[in-house]
Amino acid sequence: MDTVNREPAERLALLIDLERCTGCKSCEAACKQEHGLGPGEYRNKVVWASALEEEGLAFLTLTCQHCERPACLRACPVNPKAITKDAVTGIVRVDESRCTGCGECVIACPYSAMGYDPKGHHAVKCNLCEERRAEGAATTACASVCPTQAIRFGKRTELLAEAAAEGRAPRDQDHFLLGPATIYLERLPSLDAATTGRIPARIQPQDTRRPVFMDARDSQATVMKSVPAFPYGSPREEVTADRVVPGGCNICFNCCSVNFHFKGDELVRITGNDNDPLLKGRVCAKSQLTLQLYHSEHRLRHPLKRVGARGENRFERISWDQALDEIAEKLKKVRDDYGPEALAMFIGTRTGTLDGRGYTRLFAQMWGTPNKDGTDPFCGAAKSVAFELTQGRVGSGNSYTPGDIGSASLYVYIGDNQAETRPVYFGMVNDWRIRNNAKMVAVDPRLTVTASKADRWLAIRSGTDMALGLAMCQHILRNNLHDARFCSDWILGFEKWRDFILERGYTPEWAEPITGIPAAETRRLAEEIAAADGCVIFASRGINQHTNGTQTNRVLMFLAAITGNWGRRGGAYFNMTHGSPIRANAPQHRRAKINRQKVRRSPAGWTDAMLHGKPYPLRALIACNNPLAQWPGQDKVRAAFEALDLLVHIELFPNETSAYADYVLPAATGIEKGEIGRSNDDRRIVWIDKMIEPPGEAKADGWIWIELGKRLGFEDVLQERYKDTQVFWDEACIGSPLIRGCTQERLHSVPWRWVRHPVASEDAPEIETLYLEGTTAPGAPPGHRFPTASGKLEFWTDEIESKFQVLGLSALPEFYSEREQLVDLPYLEFEHNDSDAGVISPFYEPATGTSRARIVSPAEAGCGAQLRAQGFDTQLLTGRPSAAHFHSMTHYLWQAEEMWPDLFCQIHPDKATALGISDGEKVHIETDHGAIDAVAWINTGIRPDAVFVPIGWGERQPYHPWRSVNFLTDKTQRDPVSDQTNLKSLLCRVSRAAN
Amino acid sequence: MVRHDISDARLLALTGGAVAAIFAWFAVRPLLPEAWRVPGSPELYLTGIAGVALLLVPVAFVLMKRGGRSANPLGWFNAHVACSLAGMVLIAVHSGGFLRRPPALLLLALVALAVLGVWARVRGSRRMAATFSTKAPAFRVPDSATRDRLKQIIAEKRRLLQLLDPQAAEGTFSANLPHFIRHPRLAMAYRRLSREETLLLGTRQAVSAAQAWWRPLHMALAWLFVAGIAVHVITVTFFAGYVADGGPITWWHITAWGK
């Protein structure tokens, strides 16, 4: 640094590590909470950037540099100045009471790190949380929450010494001799930098392009118009907490422990829980943004009854009694006319695990319908089936601890953008990678945030991960790179499967034209996995959301197993959440008899029954999420909902489904009702107490089901006292020996409010790594290392084979892909459609209909070829947008919309240029199933033949309404085993949108 | 810390009130006694003096803000807004509705000042807020000539500062009104160097022209207005005959030169 003033001895600073930062914007959320900043008002901001020439992403956390020669201070025309610099700490602060709002400091700061309150008309800026630290906090708000530990706070000299000790170099950014204090650490080079391969560029924040859509003026103006509800904008003394209650975040699958801060009865802040020994106070933006959920002006507050036509969104306010009485009467009529199975229940994860596996499970058992399901068939059903077949139980037995996942030498992400879907877990993995010099490889059609941190990126064609897995297995087996002892001792059906793989000729060369990955890269990755002293393979929706989802999961599981990466520390196959064995059950004698099969596992397969009454009529639906944005093939879903006799919607916010509903019931969430967090990778059950009352007349989902149950005579099972979720948990939900010890008392005995299962009793110790050699799997017979019938991992058995054959398939995973592909690949042809009863799936209880299928060779006149001939020349990928958003819930929160406003379409510059599309321009995306518009995000981090459009946006959202991406998807493309829908590989065409 | 800021809504209401008052004045003017329609009548003369008195408050705001005498710059800012608007109404009344004479340019300048000020507060504020994180220059490496010149400028500023304000540190110093009063040449030289440094940083060029230049334009217009007022006062006082152009001189004056 070429400074010209002497540095204060006690100079304080932030250190921002560009290698760790994932652009999640948690620091932005923390800053706005801490300082009560409203829309458009910043003290820090995370900038995303990329280059048109290089594949890579850069994230720059921009905040005040606390310069030695602050240009802002010198520009201030007030005398004495409204901006001052502390002679000891070097902190540059603004005295808002003296600021006249002229904006000269904003113009003068070359780092553009001077904020401005557009409503209060004054400068705002980072003061390194002086007030917060004066209250006793050790660090700044941004540093306290950072999921990746990218931000550190301290004395500048000490931070520089720390960096030097870690062998890290600070960037020189004192180009204008201002003497900035903030330290940015340079990115590390890829471990593969000296070799061939596709290395994500270590893009520097300068000279790069920022996505136009993120900061588009009109989009931001929409957010600016909103008046942020309490506590934002309130004077600090009015929102300084006097008590803290530990709990958890109820939004995503990271399940972070959080602290809820109260002043009196008012919730004033949400932070991470520093006492948590695992997460150590780290949380992403979402956990913090729930503060806006609890005070949102957009929440549903009263029961509503439709008075207009479906979709017209005209309602009258009614009482709870009227709503529940009328719904009960209409349900009885449906039951009388069509049978109890005519009621479908879609219980999305928004409602919480207690609802999905507790209250509604009891209700369905008492009522007598098998047609109850949640979002799993859209998200993770494929991996669940694959885990159950292979391991006998869903989920990895490993933990996010330094001794387990933290000890791996190789991390391979296949179809898993963990950095944005479980940001805190990724922060931990990324930290271990940096500390241990471990390698990271990402396999994904997109250069995701996860891939941007990897040493190598393999840009695979979507839907062909199975081919990659098969080719890697073939290479390992052919070259005897596998762990022969593990295979012989702990795998059932290994030889049968090995012979199949070797016979089929699934070589890396065979896979190359399918996956688009050079054979040498496939071999290299296979050899790295086989040689690694601990390799963790992460997979997720990119693997699950395909018609080959189950088989691809199995292949990748087999890959992990034959390389010895199963049942060891630092070696694992992960696929998103573990699943928790929570099941509430009504007494057998009280359950209604179910006379008919479940129409289909996936709710996407219910629409024919609603529309055409086949295989039998579904006439009523109680929906607790937003199927009119979420279910694939939206045109047909809407037609199906039009045809229902009764549609009840239980929700937090009004959305598309509400507009079609006969009754809209306002729900409670999180600390308004008390529940557990979602199931997560790490087997942690996180308890969240009820702490506040829901807004208006909104009620907890459990309350609604119990009250409805009373009107149907279920009160002896859905008991009044179960409205207390703690009672319900202890008495009805933890019957399984795997979680019997996870009682309220135990959950409340630790200040972080979570317990890692399985725990058979209250005093049973938590197990860091399950299935280690020499151990018995919890709940399994003695000597059974794995919880399968054989005690071994099961690749192939007669029983598994016979199950697959019911569906016309084999347990030996033969390659096939999707029918809508840009190259001709084998795909599934189905014997039955959703109007048929089909065959009963051997993979599910209760009896569930599915279709038989057969793998067909690609033909010139095949579906893909026909679509390509019609100009559908691009592969459409869908998925989660960013760490700040989770499905539709966050789209009602002003700050999430400020961070990620509009529905975007990520498109490669080559394709954009060819189509004459510029960044930020509105584009039209069309598939054979429907069409939508979105805003172009031109970015090199995607295959040139593909575009990516995220989920979560809807037409009736308050800030940035867009048609859901599920107008483009197709409900008929489903995995016959898991019933999981293909949401990742559809053919589309893209054009500039008409004005 | 209490900030008594004029909200956008209040500012728009105040401005709307002032505009309404002006329009109302023009609407009822034909119905008023003749004295309220004759330029320079005692009534309109006094109205003009009252308007100027109010418009002295913005001048005082500038002096207080820059002179180091104000404990409450925001209070002065608010006073400058309120008094400017009220003064504008009185000046409009003072015009007597004669808008085709040169003094009407002063009223036009006042209106332009008000429009600019309201725009800056209501719309420009959003641009100020949206500036956060939008500039790239600081993260780019400048050419060596720029860097060398910056070093020279800083050295030169430090040398000047020893004479201008020996107790001050260059990194946190900018010349203000007292410096310009005490050491005008040194202060001007220092100001020139500061401006050159700013130019080399490229910060003003990095924002939109409206955002960068509204304030210099606002200040320039204000000074033009002050100059115009001075000219007006001098001419009506010393060249009343010229101003009256053959008509009656109804206002206080020293001589009727120019008749």
Give tens-digit pLDDT for A62-116. 999 999 999 999 999 999 999 999 999 999 999 999 999 999 999 999 999 999 9
Alpha carbon separation from B170 to A73, A223, A978, B152 (Å, rounded) = 11, 41, 70, 13
CA A352 to chain centre: 15
Pair of tokens at residue A167: 């062998």
Side-chain half-sphere exposure of A26, counting CA atoms within 13 A: 32
Alpha carbon separation from A987 to A331, A820, A873, A893, A937 (Å, rounded) = 41, 6, 7, 33, 19
Q: Is A50 within 8 Å of A208 (Cβ atoms)?
A: yes
Burial class (CB within 10 angstroms; exposed 0-12, middle 13-18, buried 19+) of A196: exposed
B134, B135, B176 ranked by CB distance to A79: nearest: B176
Q: Beta partners for A849?
A: A840
DSSP A229: P
pLDDT band at B252 (very low <50, low <70, confident <90, very high): confident
Q: Is A145 within 8 Å of A129 (Cβ atoms)?
A: no
Give the closest residue to A782 by CA, choosing from A536, A25, A30, A774. A774
Sign of CA dihedral A26, A29, A35, A37: positive
Give the per-residue pLDDT at A911.
97
* 8 Å CB contact of A111 and B121: no
User: At how many degrees (to 10) do helices A549-562 and A381-391 cross?
Assistant: 40
How far apart CA B196 and CA B180 sit, in angstroms, is 18
Give the per-residue pLDDT at A198.
81
Q: How large is the average pLDDT for residues A489-499?
A: 98
Other CB atoms within a 10 A radius of the CB of residue A206 amount to 17
Evaluate if residue A3 carries a pLDDT over 50.
no
* 8 Å CB contact of B178 and A102: no
Nearest CA in chain B to A237: B1
Task: Kindly report the average pLDDT of chain A as a whole number.
Answer: 95
Tell me which chain B residues have a C-beta less than 8 angstroms from the C-beta of A105: none
Give the per-residue pLDDT at B255.
78
Peptide bond connecting A518 to the previous residue in cis, omega within 30 degrees of 0: no
CATH number of A396-576: 3.40.228.10
How far apart CA A364 and CA A622 sit, in angstroms, is 11
Sign of CA dihedral A744, A749, A752, A756: negative
Q: pTM of the entire structure?
A: 0.94
Q: Residue A930, by phi and psi: left (phi above 0), alpha (psi -120 to 50) or beta? A: left
Give the per-residue pLDDT at A249.
95
Tell me which chain B residues have a C-beta less than 8 angstroms from the C-beta of A116: 125, 128-129, 131-132
HEC sequence for chain B: CCCCCCCHHHHHHHHHHHHHHHHHHHHHHHHCCHHHCCCCCHHHHHHHHHHHHHHHHHHHHHHHHHHCCCCCHHHHHHHHHHHHHHHHHHHHHHCCCCCCCCCHHHHHHHHHHHHHHHHHHHHHHHHHHHCCCCCCHHHCCCCHHHHHHHHHHHHHHHHHHHHHCCCCCHHHCCCCHHHHHHCHHHHHHHHHHHHHHHHHHCCCCCCCHHHHHHHHHHHHHHHHHHHHHHHHHHHHHHEHHHHHCCCCCCCCCCCECCC
Evaluate if residue A5 carries a pLDDT over 60.
no
pLDDT band at A338 (very low <50, low <70, confident <90, very high): very high
* 8 Å CB contact of B212 and A122: no
Percent of chain B predicted with pLDDT > 90: 76
Q: Is B95 within 8 Å of B229 (Cβ atoms)?
A: no
Q: How large is the average pLDDT for residues A809-837?
A: 96
Least confident of A52-56, A392-396, B151-155: A52-56
Evaluate if residue A207 carries a pLDDT over 70.
no
* 8 Å CB contact of A215 and B5: no
Nearest CA in chain A to B205: A107
Evaluate if residue A515 carries a pLDDT over 70.
yes
Q: Which of residues 135-194 of B touch A (CB under 8 A)?
A: 135-142, 147, 150-151, 154, 169-174, 176-178, 194
Within an 8 Å CB–CB cutoff, is residue B235 touching chain A? no
Evaluate if residue A1 carries a pLDDT over 70.
no
* 8 Å CB contact of B132 and A115: yes
- Cα Rg, chain A, nearest whole Å: 28
Nearest CA in chain A to B155: A4
Give the per-residue pLDDT at B137.
60
Residues 6 or more apart from A976 whose CB is under 8 A from it? A547, A807, A808, A809, A828, A830, A841, A850, A851, A852, A853
Q: How large is the average pLDDT for residues A476-491?
A: 98
* 8 Å CB contact of A112 and B66: no
* 8 Å CB contact of A101 and B125: yes
Tell me the ipTM for this assembly: 0.95
- Residue ranges of alpha helices (H) inside A98-240 are 104-108, 130-134, 141-145, 156-165, 212-215, 217-224
Nearest CA in chain A to B128: A116
How far apart CA A266 and CA A746 sit, in angstroms, is 27
Which H or E element spans position A991? strand A986-992
How far apart CA A203 and CA A447 sit, in angstroms, is 13
* 8 Å CB contact of B215 and A4: no
Q: Is A215 within 8 Å of A112 (Cβ atoms)?
A: no
Other CB atoms within a 10 A radius of the CB of residue A84 amount to 17
How far apart CA A789 and CA A780 sit, in angstroms, is 9
The residue among B12, B119, B139, B180 with the most chain A CBs within 10 A of its CB, best to mutate, is: B139
CA A74 to chain centre: 45
Residues 6 or more apart from A550 whose CB is under 8 A from it? A382, A385, A386, A975, A977, A978, A980
Which H or E element spans position A355? none
How far apart CA B121 and CA A461 sit, in angstroms, is 52
Residue at token pair 């409204």: A82
* 8 Å CB contact of A111 and B67: no
Give the closest residue to A766 by CA, choosing from A750, A755, A782, A751. A755
Evaluate if residue A413 carries a pLDDT over 80.
yes
How far apart CA B154 and CA A173 sit, in angstroms, is 18
Tell me which chain B residues have a C-beta less than 8 angstroms from the C-beta of A111: 135, 138-139
Burial class (CB within 10 angstroms; exposed 0-12, middle 13-18, buried 19+) of A860: exposed
How far apart CA A202 and CA A193 sit, in angstroms, is 11
Q: Which of residues 23-82 of B touch A (CB under 8 A)?
A: 65-68, 72-74, 76-77
The residue among A3, A61, A121 with the most chain B CBs within 10 A of its CB, best to mutate, is: A121
Give the closest residue to A223 by CA, choosing from A291, A302, A298. A298
- CATH classification number, A12-210, choose in 3.30.70.1560, 3.10.129.10, 3.30.70.20, 3.30.460.80: 3.30.70.20
pLDDT digit string, tens, across residues A15-41: 999 999 999 999 999 999 999 999 999
DSSP A350: G
Side-chain half-sphere exposure of B35, counting CA atoms within 13 A: 8
Tell me which chain A residues have a C-beta less than 8 angstroms from the C-beta of B173: 74
Pairs of CB atoms within 8 A across A/B: 181
Give the per-residue pLDDT at B100.
84
Residues 6 or more apart from A709 whose CB is under 8 A from it? A362, A363, A366, A715, A717, A718
Nearest CA in chain A to B70: A79
Least confident of A48-52, A456-460, A535-539, B227-231: A48-52
How far apart CA A940 and CA A56 sit, in angstroms, is 7
Looking at CA atoms only, how far is residue B100 from chain A in angstroms? 34
Looking at CA atoms only, how far is residue A363 from chain B in angstroms? 51
Burial B167-189 (b: 16+ CB within 10 A, else e): eeebbbbbbbbebbeebeebbeb
Within an 8 Å CB–CB cutoff, is residue B4 touching chain A? no
Q: Is B187 within 8 Å of B179 (Cβ atoms)?
A: yes
The residue among A28, A78, A172 with the most chain B CBs within 10 A of its CB, best to mutate, is: A78
Alpha carbon separation from A292 to A299, A413, A688 (Å, rounded) = 10, 33, 18
How far apart CA A565 and CA A498 sit, in angstroms, is 17
Evaluate if residue B139 carries a pLDDT over 80.
no
* 8 Å CB contact of B133 and A41: no
Q: How large is the average pLDDT for residues A724-748?
A: 97
Give the closest residue to A441 by CA, choosing from A515, A497, A381, A524. A524
Q: How large is the average pLDDT for residues A570-588?
A: 91
How far apart CA A726 and CA A192 sit, in angstroms, is 51
B7, B67, B215 ranked by CB distance to A102: nearest: B215
* 8 Å CB contact of A175 and B206: no
pLDDT digit string, tens, across residues A615-652: 999 999 999 989 999 999 999 999 999 999 999 999 99
Q: How large is the average pLDDT for residues A374-383?
A: 95
The residue extents of the domains of chain A are 12-210, 396-576
Q: How large is the average pLDDT for residues A586-594?
A: 96
Q: Is A953 within 8 Å of A960 (Cβ atoms)?
A: yes
DSSP A458: E
* 8 Å CB contact of B73 and A78: yes
Pair of tokens at residue A55: 């594949």
Tell me which chain A residues have a C-beta less than 8 angstroms from the C-beta of B139: 60, 111, 173, 175, 204-206
Give the per-residue pLDDT at B1.
57
Looking at CA atoms only, how far is residue A176 from chain B in angstroms? 7
How far apart CA A226 and CA A39 sit, in angstroms, is 8
pLDDT band at A349 (very low <50, low <70, confident <90, very high): confident
Evaluate if residue A802 carries a pLDDT over 50.
yes
> In this predicted model, which residue has the larger pLDDT, A252 or A723?
A723
A989 phi and psi angles, rounded to 5 deg: -130, 145
Q: Is A409 within 8 Å of A534 (Cβ atoms)?
A: yes
B6, B141, B171 ranked by CB distance to A175: nearest: B141
Evaluate if residue A251 carries a pLDDT over 50.
yes
Give the per-residue pLDDT at A50.
84
A45, A68, A101 ranked by CB distance to B133: nearest: A45
Percent of chain A predicted with pLDDT > 90: 91
Residue at token pair 């050159």: B196
Looking at CA atoms only, how far is residue A430 from chain B in angstroms? 26
How far apart CA A54 and CA A395 sit, in angstroms, is 37
Residue at token pair 């807020």: B129
End-to-end CA distance of chain B, in Å?
A: 60
End-to-end CA distance of chain A, in Å?
A: 50
pLDDT digit string, tens, across residues B104-126: 999 999 999 999 999 999 999 99
